Structures are given as structure tokens and as C-alpha cells.
Amino acid sequence: MQIPETRTTKADTNPHEQNKVNSGTGADDSEPTYLRAFRGSFTAALRWPQLADLWERVRARSGDGWYLYAVGEAPPAEPADAARVETFLTEMDGLLRREHQEDYCGIVYADNLQAPSFVKIYDPNNLGVSCGYSDNPPLPGWIMSRLPPVDLPAAQAPAGRRRWWRQLFS
């Protein structure tokens, strides 16, 4: 099976469903900027080299005010410093490559692969429906953004992932 180089999706759809359009009537001006960005269009880093390129682009801007949010934990109030962003990228890359044992990536989405400011990372062990549509698509496990996050309404992350997150910077 040939995998396309990139795939664009709306954030409020199943992350594995290509080009699904939101049936809503548009953005609500009272909605927080973070939620509008979260629900925007994203492009997947489908192949591992694309993920490596994405990480390098984030690394080049690691001191530019990235918020590192583990969904299910309290959102961070302050952006991470450059060293913490570097640690996060290294550890996240290792986790994804160990636990998503496929010849493609496809579980990391950015608002712009060339100049990212919002990155969603899906937990390889909590993908939910992997093909087709779901009325309850999984939330990302982690989000990197240049916008201060809001607490996303969702089920808690699996306990093992919460432990991993808490130990990452302890």
C-alpha cells in the first residue's frame, strides 16, 4: 500500500480520517483562541523522516515559548524553557519509535509542518478507532503549542502515561 507524503485533517475528526470537514457553522468568537487553534486544520507527519524534520523545526525554535501539555494533567501556566523542550522532543521521539512499531508515523499532526506553532501527538497505545470515523475520537496524548493551553474536556490519559509524564522532568 502506498502511503501519501502528507495528510490534512480537521482536528475535531478522527485523526486517521483524511479530509473530513467539520459540519459546524464556523468559529465562535467567544471560544478561546487555543480551542479554535486546536480545532483547526492539521497535517500529519506520515513518515518517520517527516517527523524528524518537524522535530528539527521545533528544536530550532525551542526557546520561543512552547507550552508542553499532557492531556489529562493540568495545563501548564508557563511555557517550557529551551532545555525542557529539547528533553521532551528527545523522550517523545524515543517513545513514539518504540511503541508505534509501524513503518510510518502518522500520529503526529502540526498546524504547519514547515513552521509549526501547534503540534498534536497521539499516544500509540490510545489511538481508539484506527480506521474510519468515530463519534468519540481520542484526544491527543500530548500537545505542544505556542498558545497557553486550556484544560481540554476529556477522559484521563492512561495511568502509565501520567506516570511517564510526571517522571520526565522530576
Domain coordinates in residue numbering, the chain: 6-168
Mean pLDDT for the chain overall: 78
The answer to pTM > 0.75 is no
Alpha-carbon gap, residue 151 to 134, rounded angstroms: 22
DSSP 8-class letter at 63: T
**Helix residue ranges per DSSP H, the chain:** 33-38, 48-59, 82-99, 159-168
Question: What is the mean pLDDT of the segment spanning 28-50?
Answer: 85
pLDDT at 4 over 60: no
Who wins on pLDDT, 153 or 11?
A: 153
Question: What is the mean pLDDT of the segment spanning 153-159?
Answer: 49
Exposed e or buried b for every residue in 80-109, given b needs 16+ CB within 10 A? Answer: beeebbbbbbeebeebbeeebeeeebbbbb
Could you tell me the pLDDT band of residue 91, with boundaries at 50, 70 and 90?
very high
> Sign (positive/negative) of CA torsion 120, 123, 126, 128?
positive
Q: List, for residues 47-71, the tens digit of each pLDDT value.
A: 889 999 999 999 999 999 999 999 9
Q: List, for residues 107-144, the tens digit of each pLDDT value.
A: 899 999 999 999 999 988 777 654 445 556 678 999 99
